[in-house]
Structure 1
């Protein structure tokens, strides 16, 4: 299957390239600040399907750069989706749990009311709306707490901090599902094949299981890596950030299971695999 992927060096883009022979476009080939260039790249490549694995993900910086974040996370996907719709090409777009306000104590379903707490979430929500408005066959895959052995993410940050510190205070009142980038990539590839066969489409959730807090995830990382680091639970109020984070980031993945037969991975297995790669 001929797949065009926007993104080359991010966690998800790298995972896609390891699993499938895709054409991955970096900034030099398609700058997301230039939506017209993104559309032109699709028309030039004429692939069977397109996956947008690129995004502005600097959550805190987005509070001062919302216009920039929205151009990358909404205007560029809009142009991609419109180009795909014009050519009858399926388009797969990755979104986030941050489109929700994090209230309540149950996992979020796809049809629950949205209400992002920060600029990043607003930019991603605008991207979702633009993809739907394009009118083509598409998938919007919301995910959460993405991690892998490479790039900047919670796993690599915790391991870096553990090199110089033997104790850390980590937020314990935010709950979610850590999600291995490799499993998101595998899910997108399965969904792309289904879309090309005329099956499925719409908005779906995919997040690792079971749900855990950031503090709990940190403990699992240090245990798996054999690092002797003490983790102290703290509330979000004790670790203020420019962008508010949702307390409840859990995602209900039943629709994905029902429509595509895809069951979210146990993040603990993904963590073990990532740690093995880091130790290799």
Structure 2
């Protein structure tokens, strides 16, 4: 029996894992900052020993990309220091650790999908803090542990691009959406299922990195267009350049992830992005 600690369990990914939990013969411990302090090594050790934890899925993250530019200390606390503490405990107690990272570790200047070994070069504080967390984990090197990099996460739960588009699509006649940032969205439910399916298979001496997003390639503009189409909203989507929508944090222009490694290693079947969007809209009651 796997006793799995899920940190950050009220976020998009953690909430989707909670919903899928009954499909698996694992015992789950869903936590957030109110019942475990993942920046306190002793607190993590006590929780893991008390509950005989043998796997951790770290969904906790500081994800406010623009706010991170001025809130460097808190981004570092959650995205680096907490990962370091979780890694130390995982190594000490022989616990599997699955940690979630991001496409923002890349600079977005590539012209073909990023493989896991590609040179990292984050362009934002958020991206740097996530890469620093990866580095801490790889240096500590807990056994049977992996990092999953993902992109453009959305879900039935929480706040995300999909929900923003649905809200604005009902309020406005037209919207400008960036067309020159290209990648692929990740439906958190699909990622959650992949994680739960592969956890028993993880066996490695060195921390491995895997990419995961839904299949396909598109821009934010394409994503918004399809949302309006599937939800049958009359809002017109207009393509705009990144420079027309300035933000404190710099985003990668191209961050498509190559998923060959996770598919071949764990026999993961990754759904097409439109299928994930269709499912999420149905759950939200917005599919027309």
| TM-score bracket for the superposition, by shorter chain length | over 0.9
**Pairing 1:1-280 to 2, within 5 Å after superposition:** 1-20=2-21, 21-34=27-40, 36-137=42-143, 138-195=145-202, 202-279=208-285
Q: Which moved more, 1:63-72 or 1:35-44?
A: 35-44
Question: Paired residues, what number?
Answer: 279
Question: Matches of 2:86 and 2:55 in 1, distance apart?
Answer: 11
Question: Matches of 1:4 and 1:40 in 2, distance apart?
Answer: 12
Displacement after TM superposition at 1:131 (Å): 1.1
Displacement after TM superposition at 1:41 (Å): 2.5
Displacement after TM superposition at 1:199 (Å): 9.4
Q: Residues 142 and 207 of structure 2 are in contact (CA less than 8 Å); yes or no, is this contact kept in structure 1? A: no
Structure 1 portions without partners, runs of 5+: none
- 3-state DSSP class of the match of 1:131? helix
Question: Matches of 2:70 and 2:38 in 1, distance apart?
Answer: 19
Displacement after TM superposition at 1:253 (Å): 0.6
Displacement after TM superposition at 1:43 (Å): 3.4
Question: Matches of 1:209 and 1:199 in 2, distance apart?
Answer: 29
Give the direction of change, closer, same or farther, for the CA distance of 1:186–1:54 in structure 2 (3 Å limit). Answer: same
TM-score, normalising length from structure 2?
0.93
Q: Residues 38 and 85 of structure 2 are in contact (CA less than 8 Å); yes or no, is this contact kept in structure 1? A: no
Question: Matches of 1:111 and 1:56 in 2, distance apart?
Answer: 24
Q: Residues 99 and 122 of structure 1 are in contact (CA less than 8 Å); yes or no, is this contact kept in structure 2? A: yes
The alignment yields a C-alpha RMSD, in angstroms, of 1.7
Q: Residues 174 and 235 of structure 2 are in contact (CA less than 8 Å); yes or no, is this contact kept in structure 1? A: yes
TM-score, normalising length from structure 1?
0.95
Question: Matches of 1:11 and 1:263 in 2, distance apart?
Answer: 21
Question: Matches of 1:63 and 1:115 in 2, distance apart?
Answer: 16
Question: Matches of 1:64 and 1:34 in 2, distance apart?
Answer: 24
Displacement after TM superposition at 1:33 (Å): 4.8
Displacement after TM superposition at 1:188 (Å): 1.0
Structure 2 portions without partners, runs of 5+: 22-26
